[in-house]
Chain A
Amino acid sequence: EAQVTQNPRYLITVTGKKLTVTCSQNMNHEYMSWYRQDPGLGLRQIYYSMNVEVTDKGDVPEGYKVSRKEKRNFPLILESPSPNQTSLYFCASSLTSAGEQYFGPGTRLTVT
């Protein structure tokens, strides 16, 4: 089954404790993105990647890092999480830059 998987689905952590949210897709897609969803703000792009080892900032990259060492994986790293990063995070992939984006199920992160 074609899908985007994210782990964990739920995470509660404390300020400053480094964490990684994994994202993997099995569709051989070139393009991958991370978004955060906040009430009243819709989805905002954090980072995106056009290919292995090619990443770039989206609209809200501060406090986040990403890497794309393999085509299928695109982890999101929070080196020192803060409470304002409490949000619902989605990973997405697409075959082409303007194509349909396939979203993962989301990761709900709470930083206390």
Chain B
Amino acid sequence: AQSVTQLDSQVPVFEEAPVELRCNYSSSVSVYLFWYVQYPNQGLQLLLKYLSGSTLVESINGFEAEFNKSQTSFHLRKPSVHISDTAEYFCAVYTGFQKLVFGTGTRLLVSP
């Protein structure tokens, strides 16, 4: 069965510092990979996705993630975070039949 591992449950960082949220997946077949963000007291929103093509994908608010097939990773990065990036971030892998398997989430805490 496919699974997603987010090793860091919480990542504290200062504003304007770079950040990397790690995500590893296990799969024996081709995958679609996603990052979703959940702001406090809200539902999840799609941040970015990898379906095929370029292994580097970007979001409109400065996040990027790189699909690394050999390391089965899809880490999320941002070169300079803002207070407003404080949220919980979920990595997910599509397994077929609308089955999206989520990681346990990483809470990003940005402080001044």
Contacts and interface: CB of A to CB of B under 8 A. Distances in A.
Nearest to B32: A98
B83 interface: no
A48 interface: yes
Contacts of B111: none
Contacts of A85: none
A41 interface: yes
A4 B45 CA distance: 12
A103 B98 contact: no
Given A50-B98, A98-B51, A42 B32 contact: no
A97 B102 CA distance: 15
Nearest to A41: B104
15 contacts: A33-B98, A33-B100, A44-B102, A48-B97, A56-B97, A58-B99, A90-B44, A97-B97, A100-B34, A100-B46, A101-B36, A101-B46, A103-B36, A103-B44, A105-B42
Interface of A: 4, 31, 33, 35, 40-45, 48, 50, 56, 58, 90, 92, 94, 97-98, 100-101, 103-106
